[in-house]
Amino acid sequence: MSHLSYVAVLAFVVAGTAWLEVALRTRVSRRWRRLLLAVVPVVVVFSAWDLYAIAHGHWSFDASRVTGIELPGSLPLDEVLFFVVVPIAAVLTLEAVRAVKRWEVGDEPPGTCSDGVRTDDGPR
Amino acid sequence: MTYTQLAVAAVALVMVLDLVVVRTRLLRRKVFWTAYAIIAFFQLVTNGILTGLPIVRYDGAAIVGSSTPVDARPPFLGDGRIAYAPFEDLLFGFALVLLTLVLWVWAGRRGVQRTPYAGPPRVRWPGSAAPGDGASYEPG
């Protein structure tokens, strides 16, 4: 079987969300420093969880369907990529809903939302 | 600890982070639940591939259901599984997504690249908040 099976699933997630950046103007790439602040802790925390689970045999990977590249602790590179790709997809989804609905997210300055909807577009 | 215990603890911890510690209160916003509903659907699809092929196997000692069979697919539904995946994966995913979005909103609220806000959509989108819906919203 293909060593790229797991990576192909991740590619599907990337393809399924990247277009939001263009079609809905989610503008996440223009906020990349903020994105790092969200993604890096998730990579650290969930990689630690993964290492614990692998060490205790909670789950294991089909060697014929992952890249075979491993980080210390037998952590497949595929898993680390998962912890990068999925949080970015989550942020893009949240921002896509915001782009369409203008619903209050919680990061707006005071006085720029009314009845849970943003009324000020802020600087572009 | 089992995967079940860790997954429940992770969800509880991240919920406390959201509601009490940093008070982003995403759990009380429809923007979060709408986004999560979309994410959960695609998690069931993609995780179904990962766990149904299976690319990832689980040990029955760590989950409520049984171990992933050696030479067969796990059940699609039942024995603690939803779309081939242990239900614990839904808790894992929920904790991962909520933690990500709490950090994202918290950073924005602290002034790290609060703007540019998302939108307006470049394409016509069903259900879009249209100009005149209470906001000056200029397409283009």
Cα distance between residue B20 and residue B72, in whole Å: 44
Residues lower than pLDDT 70 in chain B? 130-140
Q: Which residues of B touch A110 (CB under 8 A)?
A: none
Nearest to A123 among B108, B109, B116 (CB): B116
Phi, psi for residue B20 in degrees, rounded to 5: -115, -45
Considering only alpha carbons, which residue of chain B is nearest residue A124?
B116
| pLDDT in the model for residue B134 | 45
Residue closest to B116 by CA, chosen among A83, A41, A99: A99
Q: Which two tokens stand for residue B140?
A: 């283009």
Cα distance between residue B126 and residue B124, in whole Å: 7
Is A13 in Cβ contact with B127 (below 8 Å)? Answer: no
Q: How far is CA B54 from the centre of its chain?
A: 21
Confidence label for A82 from pLDDT (cuts 50, 70 and 90): very high
Question: Strand pairing of A113-114 and A117-118?
Answer: antiparallel
Mean pLDDT within A19-37: 97
DSSP for B6-72, please give it: HHHHHHHHHHHIIIIIS---GGG-HHHHHHHHHHHHHHHHHHHHHHHTTSEEE-TTTSSSPPPPSSS
3-state secondary structure of A60: strand
Is A114 in Cβ contact with B116 (below 8 Å)? Answer: no
Nearest to A118 among B58, B104, B135 (CB): B135
What is the ipTM score, two decimals? 0.96
| pLDDT in the model for residue B140 | 40
Instruction: Spell out the domain ranges in chain A.
Output: 5-118
Cβ distance A86 to A71 under 8 Å?
no
Is pLDDT at A124 greater than 80 in this prediction?
no
pTM, 2 dp:
0.94
- Average pLDDT of chain A? 96
Q: Count the residues in chain A.
A: 124
Cβ distance B57 to A60 under 8 Å?
yes
| pLDDT in the model for residue A112 | 92
Residue closest to A17 by CA, chosen among A6, A5, A7, A29: A29
Determine which of A14-23, A34-43, A107-116 has the lowest per-residue pLDDT on average.
A107-116
Mean pLDDT within A71-96: 98
Nearest to B116 among A91, A118, A122 (CB): A122
Mean pLDDT within A108-114: 91
- b (16+ CB within 10 A) / e for A63-82: eebbeeebeeeebbebbbbb
| pLDDT in the model for residue B130 | 59
